[in-house]
Amino acid sequence: MKFILSVVLGVISTVGISQQMYDASEIPDELKENANSVIRNKDVSIEITTPKRLTMNYMVALTILNKNGNRHLNPSVPYDDVTKVKSAEARIYNAHGKEIEKFKKKDFMDVSAVSGGTLYSDNRMLVFDYTPVNYPYTIVFEYEIETGNTAHIPPFIPMGIYNSSVEQSQYTISYGDGVTIRQKFTDPKNEIVKNEQPGSIFLTAKNMKAINWESYSPGLDEHLPSSFFALDNFYLEGVAGGGTNWSEFGKWMETKLLQDTRDLSPATISKVKSLVANAATVEDKARIVYEYVQKNTRYISVQVGIGGWKPMNASEVDKLGYGDCKALTNYTQTLLQEVGVTSYYTVVFGDRQKRNIVPDFASLQGNHIILAVPDGDETHWLECTSQTVPFGFIANFTDDRDVLMVTPEGGKIAHTTAYPYNVNTLKTTGKCVVYEDGNIGVKVTLESGGTQYSNRHDVENMTKDEKDEYYKEYWDYVDNIKLKSVQLENNKQDVKLMEMVEFDARSYTSTAGENLIFPVNVLNRFTYIPKRYKDRKFPLFISRGFVDEDIVSIELPPGFTVSSLPEPIALETKFGMYTSELKETESGKYEYRRKFEIQEGEFPKEEYENYRKFMKKVAKHDNQKIILTKQ
């Protein structure tokens, strides 16, 4: 998606700085801690003389301490039809700051910048390729670009990644008389020094220590300083645009990017009308149209010029049977319009990690488009790029976040459907027969909903071999599984997936002398224990919760008994709960019941260790074993 690419765009100036020596031994020790690279100096200077002209001078001097730091440098200069690369150069220095290699502009490779998942785009970049022989080494990379796009201004984010510290980073933005600029400034720990003058803003940050990634932590951007900029009036691929608030910005999108793309042939219009002829409610109509789109289109991404922001015409999607997220959303919207159902083109950050459109800062944001269909008090959110997801189902990618809805009256911030823990269910109901030789035979039904449906429903599209691998991986603590049958029922109306699986496994039990050791939890064992942190820095953040319920009957081989039943377990914490119990139902037959619940939420960092303890206990109880003795 073009939005993403432009975020990478960053940069500029360099006066005399390359004279400086970059001796790696001069880096203060505290900046080496947890660091794979150190930004020795970064200097970005942006000049916007008119809403049609932006130049950027970018310079970064980055010392790479080890192999993991190599990916911290993006060795590319992005450009396109409205962006010119005026200069580009890279120099490599060894550990002592001696220059060992130099790339002039002509040494850069000119390649197309088509990112994964996109078929074609007109973005290009100049890249250089340096293979380090020794560490540490320093790269000084600088370039200058001039662009007619001012809709997206590279922001100041002195530290944007993990394990990279900052010695010094500065940013200057200067602008002409006809340019009105807005700023979104975030600096929770006062790390940025700001100097504002008429027509220019100067920002600088120094000595920021590298941050280690921690599991169950919120996104980095919530904790780090940043400054974003936007113009009240900008140009985007030759198209004038603007807006000082979301309402105006949305209005611009509607009139300049969307309005004239909603065309359909009379044949298609009459076809879609006949499809919904018998549908009574908004939901019924929308569902029929959505399923029609799913059946007749597929996702193909092509981004050329303004086409990176403006959808392909609905009639074109109709003709080709494919489009990107903008095109498919717009197509669905146009079809719905023809059958009298109102819907809104909606800009969102699509990501597993929940990320909001910044509500109080109207600017080009987001990386994905979905469709909002208001229906009384509720809204159906439609993911138009998938051939398989159920109507109105958006778990794990666009759920529970602020989005920009483009309505004829202008842009509005809305919030998408959340999937609280109690809808993210997995019910495991099964039977396990144990044989004297330690083998087992299993017949089980897994019923999933919510995010767990989302995690599992891909199994429907797998080949036999892939399914085989999938279930062996799912029950990876059971070795030597031989699948006998898999049957699936995908109820899209209620968003429930049923997986009926039968398998045998050799040597499930282990032996101790004459006895068999039998791990009681055969079908849903939780084995992941979160990593321990001596000095946790971030709060505990549980993005999505779930509820698992298991009922498994266990049949022992004839003549065997359980020497003693384990005590029932019941754990209750602020994060969730766990119960498990094994009961004898009749001679030689037992029933194992288990429930495990984790709720979403954010807790102070001190709670992380308690959460970890809870997980350890769950893992321990899930690993409960019993002794089967022969009479």
Q: Strand pairing of 322-323 and 298-299? A: parallel
Helix (H, G, I), strand (E, B) or coil at 323: strand
Quick one: tokens of 336?
A: 């719905």
Q: Is 66 in the site for other proteins (CB under 8 A)?
A: yes
Query: What is the rounded distance in angstroms from the CA atom of residue 268 to the CA atom of residue 252?
Result: 28
Residues 207, 281, 510, 585: which binds other proteins (CB under 8 A)?
A: 510
Shortest Å distance, C-beta 623 to other proteins:
6
Q: Residue holding tokens 């990112």?
A: 115
Query: Could you say whether residue 296 binds other proteins (CB under 8 A)?
Result: yes
- Burial pattern 526-554, b for ≥16 Cβ within 10 A else e, equals beeebeebeebebbbbbbbbbbbbbebeb
Rounded to 10°, the helix 282-296/325-338 angle is: 140
136 cis-preceded (ω within 30 degrees of 0)? yes
Minimum distance from residue 319 beta carbon to other proteins (Å): 7
Q: Candidates 4, 21, 193, 517: give the one binding other proteins (CB under 8 A).
A: 517
3-state SS assignment for residue 174: strand
Kindly tell me which of 458 and 572 has the beta carbon lying closer to other proteins: 458
**Residue 631 binds other proteins, judged by CB under 8 A:** no
Strand partners, 477: none
Site string for other proteins, 488-507 (x = CB under 8 A): ------------------xx
Minimum Å gap between C-beta 155 and other proteins is 29
Residue 326 · residue 311 · CB < 8 Å: yes
Of 15-23, 33-41, 330-338, 392-400, the segment contacting other proteins by CB under 8 A is 33-41
- By CB under 8 A, tell whether 529 contacts other proteins: yes
Cβ pair 385, 331 in contact under 8 A = no
Q: Of 16, 198, 513, 604, which one interacts with other proteins (CB under 8 A)?
A: 513
What Å distances lie between residue 471 and 258, 443, 501, CA to CA?
45, 13, 9
What x-and-dash track marks residues 384-423 binding other proteins by CB under 8 A? ---xx-----------------------------------
109 lies in the binding site for other proteins (CB under 8 A): yes
Q: What angle do CA 36, 42, 46 make, to 5 degrees?
A: 140
Shortest distance, CB of residue 288 to other proteins, whole angstroms? Answer: 17
Minimum Å distance from CB 66 to other proteins?
A: 4
CA–CA distance, 108 with 126 (Å, rounded to integer): 6
Count CA within 13 A, CB hemisphere, residue 141.
22
Instruction: Tell me whether residue 135 or residue 185 sits nearer to other proteins (CB atom).
Output: 135
Q: How far apart are CA 245 and CA 243, in angstroms?
A: 6
Position 207 contacts other proteins (CB under 8 A):
no
Q: Based on the shown chain and the rule CB under 8 A, indicate whether residue 487 belongs to the binding site for other proteins.
A: no
Tell me which stretch binds other proteins (CB under 8 A): 169-177, 295-303, 358-366, 574-582: 295-303
Tokens of 352: 């597993």
Which residues in the 452-481 window bind other proteins by CB under 8 A?
461, 463-465, 468, 472, 476, 479-481
CB 211 within 8 A of CB 34: yes
Q: Which is nearer to other proteins, 74 or 510 (CB)?
A: 510
Stretch that binds other proteins, among 19-27, 116-124, 196-204, 600-608 (CB under 8 A): 116-124
Residues 341, 285: contact at Cβ < 8 Å?
yes
Q: Which residues would be at the binding site for other proteins (CB under 8 A)?
A: 34-36, 65-68, 109-112, 114, 119-120, 124, 131, 133, 135, 212, 295-296, 298, 300, 302, 319-322, 387-388, 461, 463-465, 468, 472, 476, 479-481, 506-507, 510-513, 517, 527-529, 532, 563-564, 566, 616, 619-620, 623-627
